[in-house]
Structure 1
Amino acid sequence: MTAERRTVQEIEDLIRGLWEEMLDTDVLPTDDFFQIGGDSLMVVDVTVEARRHGLDMKTSAVFRHPTPASLARFLAGAGEEPAPATTPRAPQDLFLSADELWRTHGSTWAPDAPRCLFPLVTEGRGEPLFIVHWGNDAGFVWKATSAWGAGRPVYGFEAPGFRGAVRPLVTINDVADRYLAELLQVQPEGPYHLAGHCHGAVVAFEMARKLRAGGQEVALVGMVKPSALERFVSYGWGLDDITRYRLESLAATFGLQGDESLEEVFERMRTKEWYDDRLGPADLPRLQVQWAALALALHHYEPRPYPGPVLLFQDRKDRAETERNWLSVLTDVETHWLDYGVDDPRPLLSDPGVAARIKERLAR
């Protein structure tokens, strides 16, 4: 039965039932999805379940109509009515289409393209530790991961397209190749020590796999809260779809109303340590496409079996997915489960136990 054949009350009851099952809590018609335990990642699951029950719904509807009552009215045919003034909405200036970015930006493989590899700790002995960051790196992330080196030099990678007018890469394989081109300039021969967190942990793993396939020794791969590789967005989405989803998420997270300037948006994000002063407001549109490219790359990545040593830290809430998608292909893995219960990897990065265990392994 489609939304057009249902009453507002029937749709509202269905939405409340879906949210109650997903969030494991009672839901009132006026409850805000994001205030009762929902987050931007769960919006995709909400949308998929709603469509499975016959509702023609997009992810943007949940961001703009975050209560069962308002969402039901919208889906029942009130879509022509403007959203309430308090509904989060991203400024139009934040959106940059993939077509426009590809027309106006250069290749990350060009000789004059910005480098992806940066020294974090220049002093030290032994082979360096190479850390793959998730892309949106504020200063505290660099500081936290720099301490993992155990007396070694430490280098960090930034995602292609994070800095400068270059196009992002849209597969994990390509990102790994891009990073390895710079890594081998610093250290032509193994043994190698790699680490990464969130999206970066997946890239670090693929880099290690490529190095071993080329006959090099990889002494350690440290993976801190790697992506669990479950469905993040619809498999049919392209870069523009994921970018729009990203902007709806930012609007909900930062309370945007759609009339903010890029300077205002950047300041809110900088205050929350999403970005730092190495970037500026004009970078924001490109950075959201870069984020979408990383999400698309993760969505289509399938890890292959890896026999080398891996040190893995994961939030216990992601255990089932991690066992299915990661531990099933790792044969030499030391796994540590932590109880943070959040999607944000930053608490794990700051966990002293994580740093201590990585340093202990590197000190061997």
Structure 2
Amino acid sequence: LGYSMGGALALELALALIERGREVSALILVDSLLPEPVADPRAQTERWARRLLDDVLHQDPASIDEALRQSDNPIDVALDHARSHGVLPPEISQADTRLLLERVRAHGLAFERYQPRPFPGPVLYVGATATAGEAEVRRDWGSISPDFSYREFEASHTTILTQPAVEYLADEIRNIITQVVTT
């Protein structure tokens, strides 16, 4: 089971277990997309600022598009916008937030080079409607297994782990596990 970038980690752990002779009944991916490589570092930083606003801070990046494009530091623009709208507590310093974001960005850079390997069993994807469409998910993950199934429900990438969406997610995972165990 892997959520977000953890989907790639779950796949690699499952494959490592299989290579060591262990049985892995299924791979469950929760709102896990594969990266889209970006060659231009500036465009990549802008993309991370947009993701920060949209996915993490639940702010619309379109409201500051021009500022993001013109800034030498789009991450700071995004953080300032979030702070001015009360999304970030004032006691969290810009330096601490920037350090955390740099770690997330470093993980993202490593993740952008990732190429998934084939998985020999069923792959079950449960995703949020606001993240990606079925066609994109099947393009990214469907190629790793001929036994791929897709389910989605009303949520975003971050709200999928909060009430009430997490209840539906838990039910879906229980159903998937029951289905895999009984077949």
Both structures adopt the same fold (TM-score exceeding 0.5): yes
The runs of at least 4 aligned residues of structure 1 exceeding 6 Å deviation read none
Relative distance call for 1:299 and 1:248 in structure 2 (3 A) is: farther
Selected match of 1:346 from 158, 163, 169: 158
| CA–CA separation in structure 1 for the residues paired with 2:21 and 2:113 | 26
Cα distance, 1:349 vs. partner? 2.5
Cα distance, 1:292 vs. partner? 0.5
Cα distance, 1:283 vs. partner? 4.7
| CA–CA separation in structure 1 for the residues paired with 2:134 and 2:34 | 9
Selected match of 1:255 from 38, 61, 84: 84
Does the CA-based 8 Å contact 1:229-1:321 persist in structure 2? no
Amino acid at match of 2:158: R
- Are positions 1:214 and 2:20 aligned together? yes
Tell me which residue corresponds to 2:31.
Answer: 225
Selected match of 1:286 from 93, 99, 105: 99
C-alpha distance after superposition, 1:55-109 (max 9, x if no partner): xxxxxxxxxxxxxxxxxxxxxxxxxxxxxxxxxxxxxxxxxxxxxxxxxxxxxxx
Gaps spanning 5+ residues in structure 2: where? 50-72
| CA–CA separation in structure 2 for the residues paired with 1:245 and 1:308 | 42
Relative distance call for 1:339 and 1:214 in structure 2 (3 A) is: same
Cα distance, 1:298 vs. partner? 2.2
| CA–CA separation in structure 2 for the residues paired with 1:325 and 1:196 | 15
Tell me which residue corresponds to 2:149.
Answer: 334
Does the CA-based 8 Å contact 1:228-1:318 persist in structure 2? no
Percent identity, please.
25
| CA–CA separation in structure 1 for the residues paired with 2:40 and 2:75 | 16
Structure having the larger proportion of residues in helix: 2
Amino acid at match of 1:303: P
Selected match of 2:41 from 237, 245, 250: 237
Gaps spanning 5+ residues in structure 1: where? 1-194, 257-261, 268-280
- Are positions 1:266 and 2:70 aligned together? no
| CA–CA separation in structure 1 for the residues paired with 2:109 and 2:148 | 27
Relative distance call for 1:255 and 1:292 in structure 2 (3 A) is: same
Kindly indicate whether structure 1 or structure 2 has the higher relative contact order, using CA contacts under 8 Å at least 6 residues apart: 2
- TM-score of the superposed pair, with normalisation by structure 2: 0.63
| CA–CA separation in structure 1 for the residues paired with 2:123 and 2:23 | 13
- TM-score of the superposed pair, with normalisation by structure 1: 0.35
| CA–CA separation in structure 2 for the residues paired with 1:326 and 1:245 | 31
Cα distance, 1:355 vs. partner? 0.5
Paired residue total: 146
Show the 5 A alignment for 1:77-92: none
Selected match of 1:314 from 124, 127, 130: 127
Tell me which residue corresponds to 1:4.
Answer: none
